[in-house]
Amino acid sequence: MPLPLAELLSPALLDRVFARIDASREDMVGLARDLIRIPTVNPPGDAYTPCAELIGNRLRPRGFAVQYKRGEGTQGDNDRYPRTNVIARVEGNRPGPCVHFNGHIDVVDPGHGWTVDPFAGVVRDGRLYGRGSCDMKGGLAAAIVAVEAILDERLPFHGALEISGTVDEETGGFGGVAFLARQGFFSKPRVDHVIIPEPLQVDRVCLGHRGVWWAEVEMRGRVGHGSMPFLGVSAIRGMGRFLSLVEQELHPKLDARRTRMPVEPPGARASTLNWNSIHGGLAEGYEGVPSPLVADSCRLVLDRRFLIEEDIEAVKAEVVELLERVKQERAGLGYTLRDIVVFHPTMAAPDAPVVQALDASILQVLGRPAQHIASPGTYDQKHVSRIGHLQDCVAYGPGLLEQAHQPDEFVIIDDMVASAKVMAAAALRLLASS
C-alpha cells in the first residue's frame, strides 16, 4: 500500500519540503544560470549534448538512472548538431504511478535589442535574465529542485519521478518529445502524469493548445513583358485576388468562430490566420534596375491556428475553395498547396488528476485559486497526447509568456521558488493518489 494520502500530504511534511525549496533558492538560480550559459540556440540546435549532460550529471549522483537518447534521423540531426535528449528516473520504495517533468532545453536565437548578455544569466532586482530564462530553463530548474526536495526528505513514496530535458520544441519537437514518445517514454505504464513547466505563470494551469496548419501556397501564371502584361498571366495579381477573397469571406468567418477552450489572451479564442511571408516576381536583393516582367510565380506561407472544435480537413478545404475560385476566374492561372506542418489541438480535461493536483497545490502555496487557461501557440503537449496517448498532461511553470522570445527575457526568481513548491506538492499528491 502506498503511504496514506494524509501522511504524504501532512502539513508538517509539506512545510519541510517547502523549507528545503526555500533553502535551495540560490542553487536553483545557479542551475538555471548554468543552463542559460549553454547557448542551445535552435535552429540549428547547438550545444544540446553539453546541456543534456549538465542535467544528467547533476541527477545521477542523486540516484537517478540517466539515459541519453539522440533523436537520430530526425529533422536537423547530424554529428555536428546531435539531437541529444536526457531522461532521468528515480524509483520510490515500491512500484506505483510515475510523475514526469518535461522541459525543452532549446532556445530561440537571441536576436537584437538586449541590454545584457543573453547567455550570461545576469541576476538583477530579483530577476534572472537571459535567453531561455523564461522559456524555459527557469521552469526546468524549478522542476529539478522540486523533485530533489522530495528526495532529500527521504519520503517513502511509491512510484517514480522522472525529469527530461528535450530538444527542438521551438521547431516542432520532432527530435525531442515526438521522438521519445514514439519509443514509449511518454506512455503508460512507464509514465502516468506529465507536467511541462512552460512559462504560463505561477497561478495558471495550461490545459492545452490550439492546432497549427502551416502551408505554402504557390500561384503559377505565365511570364510576359512588363510593357504588355496582357500577354502574360500575373501570379501576383492572382495572389492578390486570393488575398482579397480571404479578407472578404474567410476572415469574417474565422473571427466569428469561438472555442470552448479557455485560451489566453481571449482574442485567440477565435480561429486565426496569419501570412508568414509572401514573395513574387524577381528574386529579392537584385542589383540595379529591375527587369520588367510579369511574374509567373508568387508564393506565400500561411499560418492557420485552428480550434479543437474544427476539423483539419475542413480547415484546408475552405482555403482550397478560394484558390479554386481564383483559378476558375483567370485562364492560365494555377496553384499548388503544400503542407509544411500540421499539429492538432489538444486539451486535458479540467478534472484530470494532474490538473486537480496542481489546482490544490496552487491554492495551498499561493493562497488563491488556480486559473485554467489554454495556449494560443503550440508546445510539446501534442506529442504526449497524440503519440504517447497520455492525456494527463498539462503545462505549468514560472514566467510570463509575453517574455518568451523577447530581448532582455527574464524570469522572476520568487516565481521560480513558488512554482517549485507547487510542483513538489502536486507531485506528492499524484504519487499519493493511486
Q: Which residues bind Zn ion (CB under 5 A)?
A: 135-136, 198
Q: Are 378 and 244 in contact, with CB atoms under 8 Å apart?
A: no
Which residue number, 135 or 310, has a Cβ lying nearer to Zn ion? Answer: 135
Catalytic pick among 169, 198, 203, 380: 169
Residue holding cell 486537480? 356
Residue holding cell 543573453? 118
Q: Is 380 a catalytic residue?
A: no
Question: Which residue in the shown chain puts its C-beta closest to Zn ion?
Answer: 135
Q: How far is the CB of 196 from Zn ion (least distance, A)?
A: 8
Nearest to 243 by CA among 294, 202, 302, 165: 302
CA dist., res. 215 & res. 301, Å (int): 6
Which residue number, 2 or 173, has a Cβ lying nearer to Zn ion? Answer: 173
Q: How far is the CB of 9 from Zn ion (least distance, A)?
A: 30
Q: Is 106 a catalytic residue?
A: yes
Q: Are 275 and 300 in contact, with CB atoms under 8 Å apart?
A: yes
Q: How far is the CB of 169 from Zn ion (least distance, A)?
A: 6
Which residue number, 177 or 315, has a Cβ lying nearer to Zn ion? Answer: 177
Q: How far is the CB of 136 from Zn ion (least distance, A)?
A: 4
CA dist., res. 393 & res. 98, Å (int): 12
Which letter, b or e, does each residue of 235-246 get, where b requires 16 or more Cβ atoms within 10 Å of its Cβ? Answer: bbbbbebbeebb
**Kind plus residue range of the DSSP H or E element containing 306:** strand 297-306
Q: Are 302 and 219 in contact, with CB atoms under 8 Å apart?
A: no
Q: How far is the CB of 395 from Zn ion (least distance, A)?
A: 9
Catalytic pick among 106, 135, 296, 415: 106
Q: Which three cell numbers stand for residue 99?
A: 510523475
Q: Which three cell numbers stand for residue 25?
A: 533558492
CA dist., res. 304 & res. 290, Å (int): 33
CA dist., res. 77 & res. 106, Å (int): 14
Which residue number, 346 or 433, has a Cβ lying nearer to Zn ion? Answer: 346
Which residue number, 96 or 173, has a Cβ lying nearer to Zn ion? Answer: 173
Instruction: Enumerate the active-site residues.
Output: 106, 169
